[in-house]
Structure 1
Amino acid sequence: MAYSYKSYSQTKDVMKKYVNATEGSIIYSLGKTRFMALAKEAGAVYKVGASALVNTEEFEQYLEQFLEPAKPLPKHTWRNQKES
């Protein structure tokens, strides 16, 4: 899989349903080992012969449980540090 200059949201409609460890690590910006460990926890790994494929839809549903709410940044952080 070649690198693309498009964002993930632009390519989501044409993305594969099943990816291997290398493709998944590129898509999700994780290492191969960490990606496969999370995929196994999600139950999204399918063994086909000697290769393992990950169902991206199941994997993304699993990732949603790790979502943290955004924290607002304090205003004028630089000014407050400068005055102290």
Structure 2
Amino acid sequence: MIYPYITLADGTEIVYTNVFEEDGQQKVEVHFERPTENGFDTARCQLPSYKWIIRDGFTDEEMKIFDQFMHSNAHLFYKYGANGGMKIA
């Protein structure tokens, strides 16, 4: 499953997967997508390694901000990903 997390002011939408196990380790993937005239800018990060497995269209400066964002929010992606997404009343 993929769950919505937040949409930034520039239209970048951040979504995350449920927690899944791979190679004996619990993981979550976080996707960043921003609409453009020709499609989407896309980046995907896998936790807990913080490895960027996809990057297309975002600048180096944006990626630094996303990396900081990932480190600040990783615990929430795991928490919500394990519980079927955020529960919004």
Range class of TM-score, shorter chain: under 0.3
Determine which structure has the larger helix proportion and give its number: 1
Determine which structure has the larger strand proportion and give its number: 2
TM-score, normalised with respect to structure 2? 0.23
Decide which structure has the larger Cα Rg and report it: 1
